[in-house]
Each structure stands twice: as structure tokens, then as C-alpha cells.
């Protein structure tokens, strides 16, 4: 079916995107739509193995190009094995992070720039873009504070990117905002600074518009 949509959720770690992605999936299911929830890096058995390598704090700082090669290997497998077949079967796909994360984290945060990432993207995905992307925007200071709170609640301890400093996350956010400016038709910016319900109300408005 042609009307299955590919939506991606982007933002800094701690922006609340993953919580709202799950809620968006419930919102769609409540209106009778079928939805697949997935994430990157990962989403397939091979992708999850790559994700483990990518996030493992034991390696310390990885070169940005090594990072990009890993996430694009995961992404290609994800598209071939899961995302495209699911869309072809008429099921919406809601994906936590996609190529915009590589542009923001490796292109911006690691300073690789867009050209190298876009070249790799052309090889790995033929420049595949989602139908729409929700960007959960907030100041890096606030995102980092929320991230630290989440760590205190338990979990596996900090991953390899959790230890990056403010200047890294500022560069990531600035790159996200540049992407929005370059492609305003695809991006929907959600202000994530407020309470969870305030953020959700904005997400609902976006969903109502996309699935009218
Ligand atoms: P994850 O635990 O999923 O964090 P989050 O809940 O914030 O998504 O870890 C994913 C990390 O990988 C996150 O710090 C962003 C990073 N990442 C990249 O650097 N490049 C990429 O292309 C992708 C998909 C993720």
C-alpha cells in the first residue's frame, strides 16, 4: 500500500524523543493503523550487534569516520531487512534516529562536515529520506541534565557518547537546526524544553496534520 509513512524521531540524547515515539505509535494504533517501532543504530540482529560495538565505552574516542561507517552499515541492513519491506506491506515505520543523526553527530559533533556523510549516504542508502522527521529541540545544557538524571535511575552506565562535553552537543544541535533550515518541508520542530505533556500536545498536532 502506498500510504504507509516512514517517520523518524531526532534530537539530543535526553530530548524525550524515544518516549514520544512510543506514544505516537500508540496514537496511530488507537486509530487502527499498523505501526512498526524501530531504532538506529540497530533494528535488526546485525544492526544490534553493530550498535553494541558502536556504543561500547571500552573503545574510548573513535574517529568520526569509523563511527559513520558503522552506523551506515547498520542503516543499510535495517533498510533492506526491515524498513522497506515493512513499508511495502502497508505498515507505518516509526524510527528512533536515522541519517539526520549521522549528519548531526558525525558531521557536526565530530566535525566531519556534511559532504563526506552525504557521499556515504548515497552509497549506503541511495539518499533515502523519511516522509517526515520530528526534531525534539532543546538546549544542550538541559539535555545533558536530563541525561544525567536518567543515569542515576539505573541502566547500563554511560555509553561511549554520553561522556562527550557541552561543545560536542552544541555542535550537534546547531547542525540539526541547519538541517531544518535546509529542508523545512520534511522537518517538524517540537520544543522539548517544557513538561512532557506540553511536548506531547505538540506531537499530537504534528500527527494530526501528517495523518489527516
Ligand atoms: P541511544 O542509547 O539510542 O541514545 P538515544 O536514546 O539518545 O537515541 O544511543 C544512540 C547514540 O548513537 C546517540 O548518542 C546518538 C548516536 N548516533 C550517532 O552518533 N550517529 C548515528 O547515525 C546514530 C543513528 C546514532
Q: What is the band of 133 on the pLDDT scale with cuts at 50, 70, 90? A: very high
- Ligand 1 pocket, 71 CB below 6 A? yes
Q: What integer is the mean pLDDT of 27-46? A: 98
How many Cα atoms within 13 Å fall on the side-chain side of residue 136?
28
The tens digit of pLDDT for each residue in 45-71 reads 999 999 999 999 999 889 999 999 999
pLDDT at position 69 is: 98
pLDDT at position 158 is: 82
User: Cα–Cα distance between 143 and 159 in angstroms, integer?
Assistant: 15
Q: What integer is the mean pLDDT of 4-26? A: 97
- Ligand 1 pocket, 161 CB below 6 A? yes
Q: What integer is the mean pLDDT of 25-54? A: 98
pLDDT at position 150 is: 60
Question: Could you tell me the residue ranges of all domains in the chain?
Answer: 6-210
> Domain 6-210 falls in which CATH fold?
Rossmann fold (3.40.50)
The tens digit of pLDDT for each residue in 84-95 reads 999 999 999 999
- Ligand 1 pocket, 13 CB below 6 A? yes
User: Cα–Cα distance between 141 and 203 in angstroms, integer?
Assistant: 22
pTM as predicted? 0.95
pLDDT at position 186 is: 98
- Burial label, 50 (beta-carbon count in 10 A; 0-12, 13-18, 19+): buried
Q: Ligand 1, residues 14, 161, 169, 172: which to mutate, most atoms within 8 A of Cβ?
A: 161
Window from 70-74, 121-125, 160-164, 193-197 with minimum mean pLDDT:
160-164
The tens digit of pLDDT for each residue in 165-180 reads 999 999 999 999 999 9
pLDDT at position 152 is: 44
What three-state secondary structure class fits 186?
A: coil
Amino acid at each position: 500500500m502506498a500510504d504507509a509513512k516512514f517517520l523518524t524521531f531526532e534530537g539530543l540524547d535526553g530530548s524525550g524523543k524515544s518516549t514520544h515515539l512510543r506514544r505516537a505509535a500508540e496514537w496511530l494504533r488507537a486509530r487502527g493503523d499498523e505501526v512498526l517501532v524501530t531504532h538506529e543504530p540497530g533494528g535488526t540482529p546485525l544492526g544490534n550487534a553493530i550498535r553494541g560495538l558502536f556504543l561500547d565505552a571500552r573503545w574510548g574516542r573513535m574517529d568520526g569516520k569509523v563511527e559513520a561507517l558503522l552506523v551506515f552499515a547498520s542503516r543499510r541492513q535495517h533498510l533492506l531487512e526491515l524498513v522497506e519491506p515493512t513499508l511495502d506491506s502497508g505498515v507505518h515505520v516509526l524510527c528512533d534516529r536515522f541519517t539526520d543523526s549521522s549528519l548531526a553527530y558525525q558531521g557536526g559533533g565530530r566535525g566531519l562536515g556534511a559532504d563526506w556523510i552525504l557521499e556515504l549516504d548515497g552509497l549506503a542508502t541511495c539518499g533515502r529520506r523519511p516522509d517526515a522527521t520530528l526534531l525534539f529541540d532543546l538546549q544542550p545544557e538541559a539535555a545533558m541534565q536530563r541525561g544525567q538524571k536518567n543515569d542515576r535511575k539505573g541502566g547500563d552506565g554511560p555509553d561511549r557518547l554520553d561522556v562527550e562535553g557541552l561543545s560536542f552537543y552544541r555542535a550537534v544541535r546547531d547542525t540539526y537546526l541547519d538541517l531544518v533550515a535546509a529542508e523545512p518541508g520534511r522537518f517538524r520542530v517540537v520544543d522539548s524544553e517544557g513538561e512532557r505533556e506540553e511536548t506531547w500536545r505538540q506531537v499530537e498536532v504534528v500527527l494530526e496534520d501528517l495523518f489527516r
